[in-house]
Structure 1
């Protein structure tokens, strides 16, 4: 995103030099390492994400704060901009409390007069900021989907995306429990409160293009309706059975996007016209769709399993969009599940990936905070990933 964006003069910058030697000259057999760190000035210095600050620059955060009316009325130890970066960094150090995240943001800034803050001060600063600035910042950074050029991200000229939902545990605090509720049975309540997270994901890159969440009781289709704002011509969205109601499919088609949705086994669409590739024309309400029926067999160590799938899609021309190619395409819907796996098992499950570890290192070192003339979109994090590429994934099969 923002390839080739010119750097604005940071204006408020300072340099911190660190050295392993406290004397004027190195001792025998030792060397002196001196490093210059360019960060924001004064009490703004802890507000950074290391190299990722180039993607979320100071001026962007300042503009968002101004638009949301969240700029501090008086200069505090924790200006609003610093609190934004603190919360973003907390997503990289999910296992840490706010004081520990603060220590990582300031670890390389020892020679600067960084103010001392308490955990209570960090909590109050977060409450003062509220949620609107983070929501607005997400809207700035989440797209546009059309910028994705990764090989395999498109099919028949269409950007391939998927919508699906998942559930996440949240802390069992009284206020959270009162808002979200808890799971229950006939004997008692159990487990943690949960939110329902529904996301729009690019299947080629597993990038989250849009998201909506809230109490689990509301359901993923309600949150999915909010994501339709990010669809449009030039995309094809893959949908599971839970999103295949007439109303949801009609609203999806109204965005101009194509869809490929799996139907429930009990649904029996009417046959209006049969095509040469075995698919047939049908109608859901006022919407014309093409129905593809396929039988898929999977052999695993648990035995041989065969299932019948019924798919509905809006591309009606079987010559340009053959049924077999659409069946193969639907397998890509699983990439949204892989994206959720990365969030749950890597970031929330404390299993470090190369990208996450490299990003954390940049934050702790306060490295590459200020960009050069043109932003290097690959950067240290990207090069770390490219140098340690994972092997090709095995075919996913499940009994």
Structure 2
């Protein structure tokens, strides 16, 4: 198909911007992706594909607005421009499809933290983590059939949901990769689709649900180092006890298709004592397994303290779902193609916002954790309405204004240790109920880590030569 070559300042192409995020997503990159996906036009439409890409991204920045409201935010600087109807915008979305948005996300995603950025590196290794979650979808028969729905205790199905998994850079919470699947797809199966983003020089943190031996070997084959939480019942053949309290253990596969697998891992068992501000004490046992065998370069206590960085992905998912999308708001699309299109647009804009936070932190000397994601989101929305970041003659002034907005009240550089007990989510019911258990309060706490020393290994010369990392 032919490509259009129209000037950007024409009214029909003027809404092709994203405020202060425009520099991170130039029009030339969008045109290149559209040409690669064969979405260019032979004739100039009132809603070109280029404009629809930016409309989709703006739609994820204004999830509470309808199509007309999003278009007004994009084109409020225009005078006398054509205002398309909601039906025309839906048809233009259908013509665009999901492929350009997915390719654009693949072109933009990736690590953004430079070497030495606080919180992003540990002992020369880039800290990354992966985890899974779900997104609520519109209750339409095609969507329910494609993505599935959770089944409640009464046996009735709830609203449709999409299962997805993301890999996040812990220091900046930028998205490195993402995959989606059916509601019943397990997180380890989803994680297999993200192995391509792992590189040597990374330290991958993961929860205990990913502890399958086959996934462990696949992730280790990428060259990345691993630090995963192990199930409490995980056991193996003790090979050697190390001076720091950890031990080398041979893991054998017991699941179907894994019985021939043998790997050598370093196992760390510890008890974490949490003393709350009200005087109460809580204890929890942790068991970690890692590929970092050298106990001198990577002591067990330091690895146990480093694992706390895995909670950065929980904060990233909370920002994506509760702040960016809205916790009580499902995706607005009512077709399978529209859901995937909106999913990748949401991930793309979220990654651009995290990159903006990282750039602002580098310019001001702050830690990215000190910059509020909510303030950054609102500042970006305002800049899209006012057209900031789209005028080359005022680029420096717009950037200075953005820095002043998102770094006005940074969080403290060192936050106090806090804890809050985990509770079961409140069931989604239509009728009010009596809340006999008040919401738990977050309290200031102090942590103490005690490494458990395993018993001495029994002599078995045949085992020292069989395990492989």
TM-score (structure 2 length as normaliser): 0.73
- Alignment-derived partner of residue 334 in structure 1: 311
Q: Which whole-Å CA distance do the structure 2 matches of 1:362 and 1:134 have between them?
A: 22
Contact 1:296-1:309 within 8 A present in 2 as well = yes
1:368 equivalent to 2:428? Answer no
- The 8 Å contact of residues 151 and 204 in structure 1, kept in 2 or not, is answered as yes
Moved more, 50-59 or 140-149: 140-149
Kept in 1: contact 2:119–2:171 (CA 8 A): yes
Distance 1:101 1:325, change over 3 A: same
Distance 1:262 1:188, change over 3 A: closer
Give, in angstroms, the shift of residue 187 of structure 1: 4.6
Which residue in the other structure is 2:230 paired with?
A: 263
Q: Residues 121-175 of structure 1, C-alpha deviation per residue, up to 9 Å, x if partnerless?
A: 0001111101111111111111145646521210000000111111121111222
Q: Give secondary structure in 2 for the equivalent of 1:43.
A: coil
Residue 216 of structure 1: aligned partner: 183
1:377: how far off?
11
Residues 1:190 and 1:270: Cα distance change in structure 2 (over 3 Å):
same
- Residue 357 of structure 1 corresponds to 378
| Among 146, 165, 175, the residue aligned to 1:198 | 165
Gap change, CA 1:186 and 1:388, over 3 Å in 2 = closer
Which range is displaced more, 237-246 or 214-223? 214-223
User: How many residue pairs are counted as aligned between the two chains?
Assistant: 362
Aligned to 1:250: 217
Q: Structure 1 107/157 Cα, relative in aligned 2: closer, same or farther at 3 Å?
A: same
Is the contact made by 1:145 and 1:209 (CA closer than 8 Å) also made in structure 2? Answer: no
> Offset of 1:103 from its aligned partner?
0.9
| SS of the residue 1:71 aligns to | coil
Q: Quick one: distance in 1 between partners of 2:185 and 2:115? A: 31
Worse-superposed segment, 218-227 or 134-143 = 218-227
* Deviation of 1:331 (Å): 0.7
2:270–2:285 Cα contact (<8 Å) kept: yes
Aligned-CA RMSD value = 2.4
2: CA distance, partners of 1:141 / 1:375: 23
Give the distance between the partners of 1:125 and 1:83, measured in 2 at CA.
7
Residues 92-145 of structure 1: CA deviation (Å, up to 9, x unaligned): 1111122210111011222xx522210000001111101111111111111145
**SS of the residue 1:341 aligns to:** helix
Q: Unaligned regions of 5+ residues in structure 1, if any?
A: 1-9, 14-39
Match of 1:154 among 99, 111, 121: 121
Deviation at 1:182, TM superposition (A): 1.9
Q: In structure 2, list runs of 5 or more residues that go unmatched.
A: 252-260, 329-372, 422-469
1:50 match: 19
CA distance in 1, matches of 2:24, 2:229: 37
Find the counterpart in structure 1 of residue 264 from structure 2.
Answer: 288
CA contact (8 A) 2:30 2:104 kept: yes
Contact 2:131-2:187 at 8 Å conserved across structures: yes
Instruction: State the distance in 2 between where 1:75 and 1:317 align.
Output: 63
Name the SS for the 2:269 alignment partner. strand
Structure 2 residue 100 is matched with structure 1 residue 105: no
2:138 aligned with 1:171: yes
Q: Does 1:398 align with 2:420?
A: yes
Which residue number corresponds to residue 424 of structure 2? none
Is contact 2:113–2:171 with CA below 8 Å preserved after alignment?
A: no
- Aligned partners of 1:80, 1:330: CA distance in 2, in Å? 44
Match of 1:234 in 2: 201
Q: Give matches, 1:82-97, under 5 Å.
A: 82-97=51-66
Aligned partners of 2:273 and 2:281 also within 8 Å: yes
